[in-house]
Amino acid sequence: MTAVRTPPPNRLPARKPAAGATGRSGAQAAVSPMLSRLAAERATGVLMRERGTLFLSDGQVVHAESPASPGLDVLLTAGGALRPEGWWEAVTQAGPGQRVGRFLIDSGRVPRGALELCHLGALYDAAFFTLGPTSAPGRFRYGVAHWLGPIHPVPVDAVERETLRRRELLHRIWPEPATDTQPLIRTGRPVDVDVPRRRRTVLDHVDGARTASDISAVIGRPAFHTLVDLRRLAAAGIVTTSARQEPEPEPEPEPEPGAATAAAWPREAPGDPDIALLRRLRDALEAL
Amino acid sequence: MPGIDECLLEAMRLPGARGATVVDWTSGLALGTVGDSPNGDHEATAAEAAELARTAAENLAFAPAEGSDWSGGETPVEDLIVSNRDSYHVLRFVRTTFDSSVFLHLWLGRTDGNLALARIRLGEIAERLVLG
């Protein structure tokens, strides 16, 4: 008898999960091999990537910053936890010694627990954007420390796990990432009275020009929290990306060689409401 | 002045305490953990507890009659209590002077735990956590 080897069947043409989604495999691919290596060698310094920076001390993450997320100063001063003058005094006096965090606590300006909570929120928030998918290589400079000083260091793998989990959370809420980055507009659909208060604050700042990051900076809230609310508002059909920016969906992945026509969906016809509706339907079905 | 870890350790001194966590309910992130968790995975427990907390915080049915506008860090719900055959869970929302969505989660055994005491103490700990 002859064994017949058949080639494995072609994979069904499926759109790759949107950028930022981890898919259902549950595979915990490292978000940055370079970061894992730096953690293993207990490095101290700053990792600079396309969308932000991560400060390491002895292999642990002590701080993160991203242009997409509000800084600790914004978070603390927007809600009145600290006056802007108090922040600048601390930076001036303790910045050169790289112990601004310590100074804020010791001088009684911010209670320790509050600072830890706020800073951890800011750290994971900025790390989410910093560790976002990118094709640009990261750079690491050894020996650099942030002027804030350590507040509540966290292990690299905790930050990586959380970043992946957050991508998946956004994807589960609404698989269309456009509201994460583009100017936002209200669709005109009537808003239920029971839109939760915190989400309504986000909605109130949607004005046709602001992006998620802009809104976060104005209300002094971690940007990821705003992304979550915006995805929920997009899923409810209340918020969409500004019309002028359309069509700019996430870039279609390059068709894999050998894969059947990946371009089963037409490139968007500008302004065609049917295509937009079909895309929303497809995304919603894929998210099930 | 207590930080996150000190506050969690203080919660763990309550009779019957098995585990304590600080969780952000928008993201489901565990910001600090001490002791055990029901399924042996603090991060998974935090994500599940966050869903429960979010439902309570976002639905008007659970808010006080005159409503709640979150002003001054006020949360519509103070705490949530879940009991089962062998344990209690107390989730205490934390009022902060910056924008946040944080709660303390205390898991305690039913035989040794004192629910009334735990609820009062957790409220005090939540206050000390952010006010020092």
- Range in A8-12, B44-48, B66-70, B94-98 the model is least confident about: A8-12
First to last CA, chain B: 5
Does residue A172 lie in a domain region? no
Same domain, A184 and A139: no
Inter-chain touch B31–A79, beta carbons under 8 Å: no
- How far does CA A103 lie from the centroid of its chain? 29
Q: How many CB atoms lie within 10 A of CB A27?
A: 8
Picking from A113, A224, A228, the nearest residue to B7 by CB comes out as A113
Structure tokens at A284: 């919603």
Residue A85's closest CA among A112, A118, A111, A107?
A107
Tokens of A216: 């976060």
Name the residue range of residue A147's domain.
Answer: 35-164
A83 in contact with B, Cβ within 8 Å: no
| Pair A231, A202 in one domain | yes
Collapse the DSSP code of B18 into the 3-class scheme (helix H, G, I; strand E, B; otherwise coil) and give the result.
strand
What pLDDT does A277 receive?
A: 67
Tell me: do A200 and A132 sit in the same domain. no
CB contact under 8 Å between B4 and A124, yes or no, is no
Nearest to A245 by CA among A196, A168, A183: A183
Residue with tokens 């309910």: B25
DSSP, residue by residue, B68-105:
---GGG--S--EEEEE-SSEEEEEEE---SSS--EEEE
User: What pLDDT sits at residue A26?
Assistant: 40
Interchain contact, B59 vs A118, CB within 8 Å = no
A150 and A233 part of one domain:
no
Q: What is the ipTM of this complex?
A: 0.95
- Check whether residue A195 and residue A137 sit in a common domain: no
The verdict on a CB contact (< 8 Å) between A121 and B31 is yes
**For residue A257, is it within any domain?**
no
Confirm or reject contact between A220 and chain B (CB < 8 A).
yes
The answer to whether position A132 is within a domain reads yes
The verdict on A54 and A125 lying in the same domain is: yes
User: Does A114 share its domain with A186?
Assistant: no
Residue with tokens 């690491």: A140
Query: Is residue A272 a part of any domain in this protein?
Result: yes
Cα–Cα distance, A164 to A133 (Å, whole number)? 11
Mean pLDDT of B84-103: 96
* Residues A224 and A163 sit within 8 Å (Cβ to Cβ): no
Q: Are residues A150 and A213 in the same domain?
A: no
Annotate B105-127 with three-state secondary structure: EEEEECCCCCHHHHHHHHHHHHH
Rounded CA separation A167/B61 (Å): 30
- Same domain, yes or no: A54 and A121: yes
Task: For each of the domains in chain B, give its residue range(s) and CATH number, in order of start.
Answer: 4-65+72-131 (3.30.450.30)
- Is residue A25 included in any domain, yes or no? no
User: Are A113 and B31 a contacting pair at CB < 8 A?
Assistant: no
Q: Which of A135, A164, A193 is the last residue of a domain?
A: A164
Interface probe with B: pick from A75, A87, A116, A119, most Cβ of B within 10 Å? A116
User: Is the pLDDT reported for residue B16 higher than 50?
Assistant: yes
Q: Are A125 and A52 in a shared domain?
A: yes
Min distance A80 CA to chain B CA atoms (Å): 6
Q: Do A283 and A221 have their domain in common?
A: yes
User: Which neighbouring-strand residues pair with B35?
Assistant: B19
Instruction: Kindly state whether B3 is in contact with chain A, defined as any CB-CB distance less than 8 angstroms.
Output: yes
Which of A133, A164, A195 is a domain's end point? A164
Residue by residue, pLDDT tens for chain A (288 residues) are 555 565 554 444 444 444 444 443 444 567 888 999 999 999 999 999 999 999 999 999 999 999 999 999 999 999 889 999 999 999 999 999 999 999 999 999 999 999 999 999 999 999 999 999 988 889 999 999 999 999 999 999 999 999 999 999 999 999 999 999 999 999 988 887 778 989 999 999 999 999 999 999 999 999 999 999 999 999 999 999 986 544 455 555 544 444 444 444 444 444 455 666 677 777 777 767
Q: Is B2 helix (H, G, I), strand (E, B) or coil?
A: coil
- Please, what is the average pLDDT of chain B? 93
CB distance from A76 to chain B under 8 Å? Answer: yes
Number of independent structural domains in chain A: 2
The confidence score (pLDDT) of residue A242 equals 84
Which of A188-197, B38-47, B58-67 has the highest average model confidence (pLDDT)?
B38-47
Verify that A156 and A42 share a domain, yes or no: yes
d(CA B105, CA A91): 34
Percent helix / strand / coil, chain B, rounded to 5: 35, 25, 35
Between the CA of residue A274 and those of A175, A239, B41, what are the distances in Å?
A: 18, 18, 45
Distance CA B47, CA B25 (A): 8
Q: Which two tokens stand for residue A261?
A: 């026509």
Q: Determine contact: B20 vs chain A, CB below 8 A.
A: no
In a domain, A4, yes or no: no
